[in-house]
């Protein structure tokens, strides 16, 4: 069964506007972690933001925030004030189990974001 | 500050040949992971090392694939008798032993093309 679902293959946004990238997940674990990574055309995966399943507050890192709705099993990424350099593939990923355990990440299929001037 | 490095960055080989990739994790990171990413997909987990011990292998890792981390530092991934279906980006990642949430730091990847 697919564990991470990203339903938006591509998204367009104008510079300086906000954009939301969707991610839903499926797990029976009580303890898990959710990550967002950015992959520019150069290929490397750049960590953006993390949300733990027990975290009560939504995670924020600069212009990135994670809208975590546990009951709906969703972990959407919000990018505020988009910049041209934000154009890239964005992947949602889940780690099952606690942070001290085995660390396999399961990734979604990604969303390609294009920021226009 | 040195990140995760991978060598080579690109490899073109003929079907049936053996290839070996190297990954150097961030120093003091005792956890090391290999992932494979095909076009249009997210990375898929292949295998995991904690220090020199290989603790987990995906069933994606057929008998033709072998990974080692002999001294708990760098790791190698070897593919024997390559097939066209092995063409992909091979990503290595590492994480520290005491991270609060164990973010995985990724290398730039090795892009393999099997002709």
What is the per-residue pLDDT across B36-66, written as a single tens digit (0 to 9) for each? 999 989 999 999 999 999 988 888 888 999 9
Length of chain A: 117
What angle is formed at CA B61 by the lines to CA B15 and CA B11, rounded to 5 degrees?
40
Q: Considering only residues 50 to 89 of chain B, which have any Cβ-Cβ distance to chain A shorter than 8 Å?
A: 55-56, 89
Whether B95 contacts chain A with CB within 8 A = yes
Identify whether the C-beta of residue B92 lies closer than 8 Å to the C-beta of residue B25: yes
Q: Are A102 and B55 within 8 A, CB to CB?
A: yes
Whether B111 contacts chain A with CB within 8 A = yes
Burial profile B88-104: b = 16 or more Cβ within 10 angstroms, e = fewer = bbbbbbbbeeeeebbbb
Per DSSP, what are the bridge partners of residue B24? B5
Q: Are B95 and A103 within 8 A, CB to CB?
A: yes
Q: What is the pLDDT of residue B96?
A: 85
How close B57 gets to chain A, by Cα (Å)? 10
Whether B17 contacts chain A with CB within 8 A = no
Q: How far apart are CA B36 and CA B58, in angstroms?
A: 11
pLDDT tens sequence for chain A (117 residues): 559 999 999 999 999 999 999 999 999 888 889 999 999 998 889 999 999 999 889 999 999 999 999 999 999 999 999 999 999 999 999 987 666 666 789 999 999 999 999
């Amino acid at each position: 069964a697919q564990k991470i679902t990203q339903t938006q293959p591509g998204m367009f946004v104008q510079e300086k506007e906000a954009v939301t990238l969707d991610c839903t997940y499926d797990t029976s674990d009580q303890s898990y972690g959710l990550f967002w990574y950015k992959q520019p055309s150069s290929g490397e995966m750049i960590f953006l933001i993390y949300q733990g399943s027990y975290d009560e507050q939504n995670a924020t890192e600069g212009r990135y925030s994670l809208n975590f709705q546990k009951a709906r099993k969703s972990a959407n990424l919000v990018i505020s004030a988009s910049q041209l350099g934000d154009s890239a593939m964005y992947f949602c990923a889940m780690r099952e189990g606690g942070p001290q355990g085995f660390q396999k990440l399961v990734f979604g299929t990604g969303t390609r974001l294009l920021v226009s001037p | 500050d040195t990140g995760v490095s991978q060598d080579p960055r690109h490899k073109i080989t003929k079907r049936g040949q053996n290839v070996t990739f190297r990954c150097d994790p961030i120093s003091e990171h005792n956890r090391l992971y290999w992932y494979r990413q095909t076009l249009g997909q997210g990375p898929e987990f292949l295998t995991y090392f904690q220090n020199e011990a290989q603790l987990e292998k995906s069933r994606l890792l057929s008998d033709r694939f072998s990974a080692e981390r002999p001294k708990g530092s760098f790791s190698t991934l070897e593919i024997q008798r390559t097939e066209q279906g092995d063409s992909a980006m091979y990503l290595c990642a590492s994480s520290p032993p005491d991270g609060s949430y164990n973010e995985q730091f990724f290398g730039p990847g090795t892009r393999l093309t099997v002709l």
